[in-house]
Each structure stands twice: as structure tokens, then as C-alpha cells.
A and B are shown apart, each in its own frame.
Chain A
Amino acid sequence: QVQLVQSGAEVRKPGASVKVSCETSGYRFTGYYLHWVRQAPGQGLEWMGWISPDSGGTNYAQKFQGRVTMTRDTSISTVYMELSRLSSDDTAVYYCARDQTVHTGIFDYWGQGTLVTVSS
């Protein structure tokens, strides 16, 4: 069965960076784009960008360009999202989600979420 398992909760100080992992299993890793979506406490969903596990190509939301980096390691079917220059506004649960078909934006499987807390 398809599974996306994310790394554990993180606490960072303002100005620092955080790297969240998303380990996939149960399907062909290189066949599906993976997206990152975040949710601030009590707020809605916010799309951050996608990565192609096949080519490593990425596309980031305008809001996060210059601050986010998405990478992948095909040997362990894992994608990563690194966010730099953190502020308290980045406190959120970060989700990885699989795109059902290339570039459709249909997120059919989600990770369990990773809480990132930014606090001094």
C-alpha cells in the first residue's frame, strides 16, 4: 500500500533553517510528483511547491522562492523540503502529498505531517 512517512517534529529559532523528510513506499517513486503543503495553527492549507522525483525538477510557489529547496534521494525513495530564514510565521504543520497524475494537482496520498515550531 502507498505510504508517505515524514520525519518528526522540529523546533528552530528565528533565522535558522529546517529540513523535513518524506519517505515513500508502495509505489514507483519516480512515477509521481510530490508536493509540499503547509498549515499554520488554526489556519487553512497553503501549497509550497512540487518536485519531480524522476528528474529532480522543482517548481516553487512565488511566496517561497529563494527560501525553499526541495530535493530527492532516489536510492531511498525520499524527498526533502528545506526552508530557510525561518520566522514565527513559519510555525506550521508541513505535509508532503503525492500527485495522482503528473501535474494534475490531485493529491491522493498524504504524509502524516511534521510540526515545525519557530520560537526564540
Chain B
Amino acid sequence: QSVLTQPPSVSGAPEQRVTISCTGSSSNIGAGYDVHWYQQLPGTAPKLLIYSNSNRPSGVPDRFSGSKSGTSASLAITGLQAEDEADYYCQSYDSSLSGWVFGGGTKLTVL
């Protein structure tokens, strides 16, 4: 059972928009800790996608965006492409555990 809750799967057709939610609690996201997002393509290491809630590292397309409100955060992907098919993880700090925690991951399928 992950501390941060994500839907196990989402799907969308090419060019559509999808969102992935990440729900936490008062000891992590709700406490004001930043949320980061990672993309993991099959058989590869995770890649930083969004940091500090809504910032994109250099090289990440602006089709990817992040937001945070209250005890939740969201990752939005617009203009879906086949290459976006991957697992996506949210991450934050948890004060009760005194460490970083991840969501359980969401598998994105491009139909």
C-alpha cells in the first residue's frame, strides 16, 4: 500500500489529453512538500519529468504539465503520442516517515 495513491492505469487515444492524479495526506503533499513526477519506459530507469509541482527539466516537451492543490497533485499530458506509453510515478516527502515516498505508479496506454 503506497503512501501516495495513483490510479493503476489510464488510457487515451493519440492527440487526446489525459491526467494522472496523486493523492496524499497532511504529512506529505498536504504539508506543503513538493511533488515530483517520473516517467519510466519499459525496461529502463525512471526519468525526471516534472519537479517541484510544475517545473519541466530541459528537454521535456511542454505537452507535460503538473499541478498541486491541497493534498493532491496531477500530471497532465496533452497531444498524446505513442511514445508516451509508460509508467508514471509521483513522489513527495513524508514527515511521518522522515523520507521520500512514491505513488504506486500509473500505466499509461495509448490506444
Which residues of chain A in 26-56 are interfacial with respect to chain B, using CB atoms and an 8 Å cutoff?
35, 37, 44-47, 49
Q: What's the interface size class on B, roughly?
A: 20 to 34
Partner of A105, one of B89, B91, B105: B91
From A35, A110, A113, residue with most partner B Cβ within 10 Å: A110
How many Å lie between the Cα of A43 and that of B98 in the bound state?
22
A110 touches B45 (CB 8 A): yes
Closest Cβ–Cβ distance, residue A59 to chain B (whole Å): 7
Residue of B nearest to A64 (CB): B99
Question: Do B99 and A104 have beta carbons less than 8 Å apart?
Answer: no
Q: A61 in the interface, Cβ–Cβ < 8 Å? A: yes
Checking A62, A105, A106, A107 against B46 with a beta-carbon cut-off of 8 angstroms, the contacting residue is: A107
Residue A111 CB within 8 A of the other chain: yes
Please, which residues of chain A bring their CB within 8 A of the CB of B92? 105
A-B contact count (CB 8 A): 61
Nearest neighbor of A96 in chain B, beta-carbon distance: B45
B13 within 8 Å of A by Cβ?
no
User: Contact: B100 with A35, CB < 8 Å?
Assistant: yes
Q: B46 contacts A104, CB within 8 Å?
A: no
A59: chain B residues within 8 A (beta carbon): 98-99
* Contact assessment for B99 and A62 in the assembled complex, using a CB-CB cutoff below 8 Å: yes
User: Which chain B residues border A89 with CB–CB below 8 Å?
Assistant: none
A35 / chain B contacts, CB cutoff of 8 Å: 100
**Stretch with Cβ within 8 A of A (4 or more), from B17-25, B47-55, B72-80:** B47-55
A-B pairs, top 7 by smallest CB distance, nearest first, are A110-B45, A45-B102, A44-B105, A47-B100, A106-B51, A105-B100, A44-B104
